């Protein structure tokens, strides 16, 4: 992989990480515990609030997982290991990395694993 391509993927990954961090900060209120006060929140409204809280928490887990993948990819870039399949050692196609810059496997190995 060329240095220019590696630098481009580093920029893409860094921007995505910053975007995820901003989304996480903006959803802090949605993940707060739901008040049990029956006077201010009716039963159905409280159930809706609990459901929204659960969805916000699930989104946060997905964001955290994606951030870990991004951090690992950035480490591989820094270590000059980025773009190489962790199973067979062959280069991962740039087109595959454009779709998923955190990919660890080439298309053949990923297909063999079922994903």
Among the listed residues 61, 97, 63, the one whose alpha carbon sits nearest the alpha carbon of residue 77: 97
Q: Are residues 97 and 71 in the same domain?
A: no
Q: Are residues 93 and 74 in the same domain?
A: no
Q: Are residues 50 and 103 in the same domain?
A: no
Q: Tell me if residue 41 falls in helix, strand or coil.
A: coil
Report pTM: 0.77
Q: Are residues 102 and 68 in the same domain?
A: no
Q: Are residues 13 and 39 in the same domain?
A: yes
Q: Are residues 76 and 108 in the same domain?
A: no
Per-residue pLDDT of the chain in tens (115 residues, 90 and over written 9): 788 999 999 999 999 999 999 988 887 765 566 555 555 555 567 777 788 888 888 998 999 999 999 999 999 999 999 999 999 999 999 999 999 999 999 999 998 876 5
Q: Are residues 91 and 36 in the same domain?
A: no
Q: Using CA atoms, how far apart are residues 49 and 30, in angstroms rounded to an integer? A: 9
Q: Are residues 61 and 112 in the same domain?
A: no
- Sequence-ordered alpha helix ranges (H) in the chain: 3-26, 43-78, 94-99, 107-113
Range of the domain at 94: 83-115
């Amino acid at each position: 992989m060329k240095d220019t391509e590696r630098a481009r993927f580093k920029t893409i990954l860094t921007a995505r990480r910053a975007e995820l961090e901003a989304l996480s900060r903006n959803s802090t209120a949605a993940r707060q515990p739901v008040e049990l006060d029956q006077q201010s929140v009716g039963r159905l409204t409280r159930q809706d609030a609990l459901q929204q809280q659960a969805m916000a928490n699930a989104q946060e887990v997905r964001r955290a997982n994606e951030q870990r993948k991004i951090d690992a990819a950035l480490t591989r870039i820094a270590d000059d290991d980025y773009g190489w399949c962790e199973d067979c050692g062959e280069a991962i196609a740039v087109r595959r990395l454009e779709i998923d810059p955190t990919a660890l496997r080439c298309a053949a190995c990923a297909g063999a694993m079922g994903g």
